[in-house]
């Protein structure tokens, strides 16, 4: 007899775990800055439309697929397409993708942990030095922070679904919401904060062009953790009687609300420090915003709230970002872990040991690719400028493979597993679903324009 599959204990447990996955670095920094640079309120409207009309159907498809198959993505495609070998490859891609994204996300999480450590220990002035980040990434101290993050992630994953992932999310997500609200209130009380709100919220439709639209869709897709096998895996831990449709909508809503709220913190903070900021000069990269820009914002608060006050604000910010990152990291590592447990028929403990070693080795390679190890820094096979291992992983998997995975899910549901099966799966726990407007919309869009749009994004980036 095989052991019973571990499950989330309740709908709210699932929602918090899935929201933990979705709410990440992309929400706190990437989204607000992208919105401000790309038309403020106009970007917000486009983003919200993408979430509702493109991401939610894909999300429901992933969750429905996972719950029906009761397997990791690898096993899900296989068990729902037993005679069609081609689909196994889609399952394989849906496991390799999260593994590789986990590597670059791990690097950033380790850096965040390092910055959290230095904020707590009173070194904010050091972090705020413009040169510091460059030294920090090429320093041996990385190894110590990597060990700490590896232990935290594996302790959570070792607990399994209910005792690990769900328990952590139930504690960490409310803490994240509270810290975010505290920071928003604090930032909005600073002089000139309102200027930031203006750039963030007032729509400027003249900024909207093809690349902004493409960027908004990629951002929404990444932010909702789509195309990474995560929702297939979490769907497989969802109880038969629970309502996938309502839960999925709530996860999308929570993720979008957190991203929106983060903008009420990030932009006002930037303008409070320098009311003359030109929004177009803000960096596109979330990474450089977090590490090079935010410490300067906090140190500038010294004049207002003193060094200790500024350090406390910085600590709350890095703790918030760290929680957002760690809950995402847990979800993404669960995918290959579940696949290894399933395929190799080994215990969770052994699978985690194996995964832990593999991820740590690759993380070290990616983390030392900023000059520390010259051989890892200079890949030019697809770009004019040399790219590091870190950049290559990011470009290939984030920009290109995510929409491809989304496309494959749509095609699989539409032309192999069949939409009527998705409907009947989603109706469990929500019997009225097949007659709703949403169901009609999902049936229509999942086999027509959603795959077309995802194919266009994929081809565009390739």
Residues that bind ligand PHE (CB under 6 A): 21-22, 24-27, 101, 105, 222-223, 225, 328, 331-332
The residue among 222 and 458 lying less far from ligand PHE, judged by its C-beta, is 222
| Distance separating alpha carbons of residues 169 and 163, to the nearest angstrom | 10
What count of residues does the chain have?
462
The residue among 229 and 268 lying less far from ligand PHE, judged by its C-beta, is 229
Residue 57 neighbours by CB distance under 10 Å: 23
- Tell me the closest approach of the beta carbon of residue 42 to ligand PHE, in angstroms: 21
- Tell me the closest approach of the beta carbon of residue 254 to ligand PHE, in angstroms: 12
- Tell me the closest approach of the beta carbon of residue 234 to ligand PHE, in angstroms: 11
Query: For ligand PHE, which residue has the nearest CB?
Result: 24
* Alpha-helical segments (H) within 54-140: 56-69, 73-80, 86-120, 124-127, 132-137
The residue among 101 and 245 lying less far from ligand PHE, judged by its C-beta, is 101
- Tell me the closest approach of the beta carbon of residue 330 to ligand PHE, in angstroms: 9
The residue among 22 and 184 lying less far from ligand PHE, judged by its C-beta, is 22
Residue 189 neighbours by CB distance under 10 Å: 11
Q: Which residue has the tokens 């604000």?
A: 313
Q: Is 409 helix (H, G, I), strand (E, B) or coil?
A: helix
Cα dihedral value 58, 382, 32, 142, nearest 10: 110
φ/ψ bin of 238: left (φ > 0), alpha (ψ from -120 to 50), beta (otherwise): beta
Read off the tokens for 269.
């903070």
DSSP string, 28-73: IIIHHHHHHHTTTHHHHHHHHHHIIIIIHHHHHHHHHHHHHHTS-H
Distances (CA, A) of 38 to 34, 55, 230, 344, 446: 6, 20, 29, 47, 28
With 0-12 CB in 10 A as exposed, 13-18 as middle and 19+ as buried, what is 140? exposed
The residue among 22 and 61 lying less far from ligand PHE, judged by its C-beta, is 22
| Distance separating alpha carbons of residues 69 and 204, to the nearest angstrom | 45
- Tell me the closest approach of the beta carbon of residue 348 to ligand PHE, in angstroms: 19
- Tell me the closest approach of the beta carbon of residue 237 to ligand PHE, in angstroms: 16
- Tell me the closest approach of the beta carbon of residue 256 to ligand PHE, in angstroms: 11
- Tell me the closest approach of the beta carbon of residue 26 to ligand PHE, in angstroms: 3
Distances (CA, A) of 96 to 152, 339, 359: 23, 10, 12
| Distance separating alpha carbons of residues 218 and 43, to the nearest angstrom | 13
The residue among 103 and 426 lying less far from ligand PHE, judged by its C-beta, is 103
- Non-local CB neighbours of 260 within 8 Å, separated by 6+ positions: 31, 44
- Tell me the closest approach of the beta carbon of residue 96 to ligand PHE, in angstroms: 14
Cα dihedral value 79, 84, 88, 89, nearest 10: -160
The residue among 106 and 364 lying less far from ligand PHE, judged by its C-beta, is 106
The residue among 29 and 301 lying less far from ligand PHE, judged by its C-beta, is 29
The residue among 152 and 346 lying less far from ligand PHE, judged by its C-beta, is 152
- Tell me the closest approach of the beta carbon of residue 224 to ligand PHE, in angstroms: 7
The residue among 184 and 228 lying less far from ligand PHE, judged by its C-beta, is 228
């Amino acid at each position: 007899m095989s052991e019973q599959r571990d499950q989330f204990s309740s709908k709210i447990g699932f929602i918090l775990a899935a929201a933990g996955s979705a709410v990440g670095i992309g929400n706190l920094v990437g989204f607000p800055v992208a919105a401000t640079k790309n038309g403020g309120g106009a970007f917000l409207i486009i983003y919200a439309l993408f979430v509702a009309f493109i991401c939610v159907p894909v999300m429901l498809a992933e969750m429905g697929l996972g719950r029906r198959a009761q397997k990791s993505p690898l096993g899900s495609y296989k068990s729902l397409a037993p005679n069609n070998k081609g689909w196994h490859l889609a399952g394989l891609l849906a496991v390799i993708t999260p593994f590789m994204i986990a590597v670059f996300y791990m690097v950033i999480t380790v850096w965040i942990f390092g910055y959290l450590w230095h904020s707590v220990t009173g070194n904010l002035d050091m972090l705020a030095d413009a040169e510091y980040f460059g030294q920090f990434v090429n320093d041996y101290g990385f190894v110590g922070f990597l060990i700490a993050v590896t232990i935290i992630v594996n302790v959570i994953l070792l607990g399994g679904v209910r005792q690990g992932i769900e328990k952590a999310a139930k504690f960490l997500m409310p803490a994240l919401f509270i810290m975010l609200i505290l920071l928003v209130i604090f930032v909005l009380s600073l002089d000139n904060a309102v200027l930031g709100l203006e750039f963030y919220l007032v729509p400027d439709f003249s900024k909207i062009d093809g690349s902004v639209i493409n960027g908004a869709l990629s951002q929404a897709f990444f932010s909702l953790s789509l195309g990474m096998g995560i929702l297939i895996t979490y769907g497989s831990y969802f109880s038969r009687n629970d309502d996938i449709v309502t839960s999925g909508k709530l996860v999308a809503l929570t993720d979008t609300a957190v991203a929106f709220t983060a903008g009420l913190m990030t932009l006002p903070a930037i303008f409070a420090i320098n009311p003359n900021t030109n929004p177009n000069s803000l960096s596109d990269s979330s990474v450089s915003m977090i590490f090079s820009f935010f410490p300067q914002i906090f140190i500038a608060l010294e004049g207002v709230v003193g060094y200790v006050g500024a350090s406390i604000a910085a600590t709350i910010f890095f703790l918030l970002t760290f929680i957002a990152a760690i809950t995402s990291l847990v979800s993404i590592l669960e995918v290959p872990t579940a696949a290894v447990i399933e395929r190799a028929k080994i215990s969770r403990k052994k699978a985690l040991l194996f995964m832990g070693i593999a991820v740590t080795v690759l993380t070290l390679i990616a983390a030392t690719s900023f000059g520390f190890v010259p051989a890892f820094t200079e890949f030019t096979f697809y770009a004019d400028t040399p790219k590091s291992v870190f950049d290559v992983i990011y470009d290939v998997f984030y920009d290109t493979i995510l929409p491809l995975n989304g496309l494959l899910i749509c095609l699989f549901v539409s032309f192999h597993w069949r939409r009527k099966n998705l409907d009947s799966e989603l109706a469990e726990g929500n019997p009225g679903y097949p007659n709703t407007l949403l169901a009609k919309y999902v049936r229509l869009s999942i086999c027509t324009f959603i795959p077309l749009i995802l194919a266009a994004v994929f081809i565009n980036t390739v």
